[in-house]
Chains A and B, each alone.
Chain A
Amino acid sequence: MSVKHALLALLEQQPMYGYQLRTEFEQRTGTTWPLNVGQVYTTLTRLERDGLASAQGEDTEGHVIYRITDAGREEVATWFTTPVARTQPPRDELAIKLALAVTVPGVDVGTVIQQQRSATMAALQDYTRLKRQAGTTGLEPAELAWSLVLDSLVFAAEAEIRWLDHCEARLRRAAVEGARQGSPAQTAQTTQPGAPVERSPR
Chain B
Amino acid sequence: MSRSTGRTASTRGGWRIALRLARREAMRRKGQTLLMLVLICLPVVAVGAASIVWRTQDVSSVEGLDRRMGAADAYVETSGFGEVVQAFDPSENYGVIGEDDVFGGPDTLGTADLDAVLDVIGADRPAVPLRTSSLSYRTDEGLGNLETLTSDLASSLTDGLLTKVRGTYPPGPGEVVVNQALADRGPGIGDTLTVVRQTGEGEQQIDLRIVGIAERTTTRGYPMAAGLPGAFGADGPDEMGQWLIGGGPVSWDEVQALNAVGVLASSRAVLTDLPPASELSPELPVMDSGIDEVTLTVLALVAAMVLLEVVLLAGPAFAVRAKAQAHSLALVAAAGGTPRQARRTVLASGVVIGVVGGVLGVALAVAVGTVAVPVAQRFDSTRFGPFEVPWPLLALVAAFGFLSAVLAAVVPAFSSSRQDVVAVLAGRRGEGKASVRSPILGLVLLGVGIAGAVAGAGAGGDGGGSAAILIAGSAIVSVLGMILLVPMAVGLVARMAGRLPLALRFAARDAARHRTRTVPAVAAVGATVAGVVTLGIALASQEAANEDRYVPMLPAGYGSVTLGDSDQTTVMAILDRNLPEGRSVTVRGALTSTDDGELEMEFRDGEDVLSLSYWSALSTPYVVVSEVPDYLEIIGGDRAELDATLAAGGMVLLDDENQDDLGAIPDVGRLAVDVRRWDPEGGEPELVGTTEVDAAVAKVEGTSPAVAFLSPEVVEQLGMEVGDVGAIIPGPISSEAQQDIDEALAALGTSPYFYVERGYQTDPAVRIIQAVLALLGGILMLGGTLTATFLALSDARPDLATMAAVGARPRTRRGVAASYALVVGGVGALLGAPVGLIPGFAISRPLTRHWETGATSLDVPWLLIAVVVIGLPLLTAGVVAVCARGRLPLTARID
A–B contact via C-beta, under 8 angstroms: no
